[in-house]
Amino acid sequence: MEFRKLILMLNILGLMANGEIGGARDVDRVDRQEIKSCKFPALYNFGDSNSDTGGRSASLDMVAPPNGETFFKAPSGRFCDGRLIIDFMAEELGLPYLSAYLDSIGSNFRHGANFATGGSSIRPGGYSPFHLQLQIGQFLQFKSRTTLLYKQLNHSAKSPPLQSRLPRPQDFSDALYTFDIGQNDLAYGFEHTSEAETRESIPSMLDKLGEAIHQLYKAGARNFWVHNTGPIGCLPYSVIYYLPKPRNLDGKGCVEPQNKVAQEFNEQLRRKVLQLRAQLPAAALTYVDMYSAKYSLISNAKKLGFEDPSQFCCGSYYGYHIGCGEKAIVNGTVYGNPCPNPSEHISWDGIHYSEAANALLAKTVLDGSLADPKVSVGEACHSSMT
């Protein structure tokens, strides 16, 4: 297993050097010696299942085995066999893995909190009640209540252990605030309306996202790292259930009309970030092209040693629909057994990426080569680097 990981990393480093993964490297990059590390004391995340570290599992549906088997050796609330990109981001910043805000068992919020929940969308409705505005409201309450409690405990003659699990009030303004959300707005639109109507609704989605960032800014947040949405049409689930195929599949086997809507979302998001920079002059806003990273990974699956990217490891959408972590026997056929080699798959369950894929995606985006401005995640407090 460790040898395979080494080979994967050598392969992707070779492709990165050739410009096949993540685009050109070190072009128009700022001299690294000129940029100081921000040393973020905390990380606050807002999003959906792509970055949920236990919120939905604690509040709605428990994430069952074999989720978590690769790294945590048990379910960890993540829709993955192991770590997510947000986990690799925490590692890169020297911070512990984020506790979910909604998880009351064993949580530690000293270095941040995760408000993302599986199924969440920017706008209300959809697959989860925890839409973005609700997540922002949870954060504002979290900040207010923990600050008050921290100060009360600070005046105690003997500081109890509880205080060490609370965020330091001064860290909120220096923390990094991350967003990875929007995929479910598109997915729900495709499922319940049309591609054209979903495209027309993008401005209202991004207005809501802009309002959320304004609220955080008003509350003292200054450093923002914003992922665009991935190629939703490349998810095995999308390919399986998209009826007008195959004439609308691109050369990589992805649903091209859905990806075009995702690309339109991303272009409008990029312009929204530019607008927010003008409106919030003290903010450092970094726009991250996650779409390109994921599409490049899928396009180069074979070169990187992965199976066909249309295949996935856990659950089944062929013949009998069963979610990851469930089992069923239909006419003598057993459905639900996970594959023995998740590290050879880009997709874990047809919707979410495997740990192996997440590791390579993190390697691709966290260095800033797909960011605007071109700063790494550890330098994201710098707003004027080009």
Q: How far apart are CA 374 and CA 32, in angstroms?
A: 10
Contacts by 123-131, CB closer than 8 A, 24 or more apart:
123/185, 123/201, 123/204, 123/205, 123/208, 125/188, 126/184, 126/185, 126/188, 127/184, 127/187, 127/188, 128/48, 128/56, 128/60, 128/184, 130/55, 130/56, 130/59, 130/102
Catalytic residue, from 352, 367, 369, 383: name it.
352
Active-site residue, 345 included: no
Catalytic residue, from 49, 59, 299, 376: name it.
49
* Distance from the Cα of residue 354 to its chain's centroid: 13
Cβ of 291: how many Cβ atoms within 10 Å? 21
| Residue reference for tokens 């990806």 | 259
Active-site residue, 352 included: yes
CA angle 291, 187, 253 (to 5 degrees): 55
Catalytic residue, from 52, 87, 185, 349: name it.
349
Contact assessment for residue 80 and residue 348, using Cβ atoms and an 8 Å cutoff? yes
Cβ of 90: how many Cβ atoms within 10 Å? 22
Q: Which helix (H) or strand (E) segment is 202 a member of?
A: helix 202-218
Q: Which helix (H) or strand (E) segment is 227 a member of?
A: strand 223-227
Residue 123 Cα distances to 51, 161, 265, angstroms: 18, 38, 14
Contact assessment for residue 380 and residue 223, using Cβ atoms and an 8 Å cutoff? yes
Active-site residue, 174 included: no
* Distance from the Cα of residue 295 to its chain's centroid: 15
- Residues labelled catalytic: 49, 349, 352
